[in-house]
Chains A and B, each alone.
Chain A
């Protein structure tokens, strides 16, 4: 250790000898500090960030995971965004513009400006997502950022957008925190959340599995997993179930066998998988391979529940999905005019039906554009006021409210089951129950959090 100090001091002595050259460096540095005062954030727009002014077009930023555990969802989101841009610009068959009520959009862009877009890869990482969003804001002049297929990412980007003064229309994010403790004035969520999943799932679980069950949770270890576990646990314990254990698993783990083995001998008779995307595909497939579904525990049939389901995941999990219960935000089999119009134009464009991620992202883009049209300006505080408390219909899931207190949408939630006899490769989820919006509505205060200021 003494030797270390010797070398250290030797270097220091060396440095002192050449202090002059060091001073030169400092001078350059000082000159640099003085220079940049004209490059401030406000220099981008006279009154707000990325004000399109007299430009003929506006730019939206589509920030989705193109790599990582949620890449499938990201790809579908991007398809939906492109379709939304087409419809906004008056191309294609118009999709939900034909069914949305009330509608201020005219099919000539937004406020007469053509809609353009830039894309980015969030890599399902907060760092990369924020960096990509910053690029869109700083370089590409994006007026609104949307996307995200992970709540951690959505929350990170949402807080960045609040600081930057740019609207964030959250895509697929299901954590209670997004519009709960981490809500922001500049962030809006159309998708439902874990709390609503729990409320919707409760009665069905009681009916199908009874009130005397022992549940074992495997939970994705981040904000979404935590809040979903909490919400589902509250629901099931309310039914009288016992929670045997809750185990956190890393996102993107790939192999879940080490987490599934202990379930076998835990005495639990229900496995709740708080996983999403490829994680859910892997954990469910492995659970089935371990024979969990064929087991009898405590004299009851062992059951697996996936609280948040999507058709893309069902597709990935293949036959394993059959008979599994869960909730979903939207399904292409819904028969209302809005859903039908969307499924039709999406199908014509890409040759297969959209996922719930595609649906929420498509709606979000239209809702943003419509709110700008209502407000008559792109100025965020006005646009926000136009969307707060906005009541609309014709976009799937029945009448929907964008609640002003927490920027959360309230609409019907679907309880679904993996289809036992699918009629096509896309007909994977069977709708068990459509839970009305009044049932899943909760008090905005229960999750805390502050929206923050209109003007930043």
Chain B
């Protein structure tokens, strides 16, 4: 983090260069005859939504809860959308309703303005009051985009327009309608450890994300802040909930975390492992201890998939 103009702290927004393209994953599934796939480290499950819309049964899991709630909106949910008046009830501060005024005060003047903190509080209450899992997931997704816009605006204050919070959130939640569709298959998401998710699910293939090698071993600040928002606790420390071995600071730690996943994933006929040119050889060497045949789909240096059977 760095200190921006005034006293506000500007988050260093990570590049997130690792690519897992939904359309490329679909190509791979089609090539290898995959009809049922699980991603136990799904993250934001927009790629599973794409595969679902293409007729593949998809299952996802993540230890971060808001990813799973979004999954209930765009992976499990086949038909429910948020109508315009319902979006209005989420994004606006309802007249006469009493909101906890200081739920996100810890972020005030640090990451967000007073007004933004009020809205985060109101949105939290309004979304928690929704009764449909599907609608809740869609609302969390739309508000996440608004939240990410605010952080981007903090980093580039002169480049991005000031949009009234409720207008911004309204536009983004309205966009979620396009993610809802039915593939006439059973799709599921699971909140918990990737290992447990793999043990309890049957599928033709598993998308297995190798741990990321990172010097500072941190997860994306945006991800944990939004988890903190969903939990209603700005002091929440998300690190214990991050998938074990999702990040590794040294190769030994990386190996031990990945070996555990590969062991559990043996039950799936096919393993699809997204990687990059820099990591490819490390991943393949370890993979050979578990799988005899390995094919490669290389789309670019940042986007390579090893297909192990």
**Are A and B part of the same complex?**
no
B interface residues, Cβ below 8 angstroms from A: none
Chain A contact residues, CB within 8 Å of chain B = none
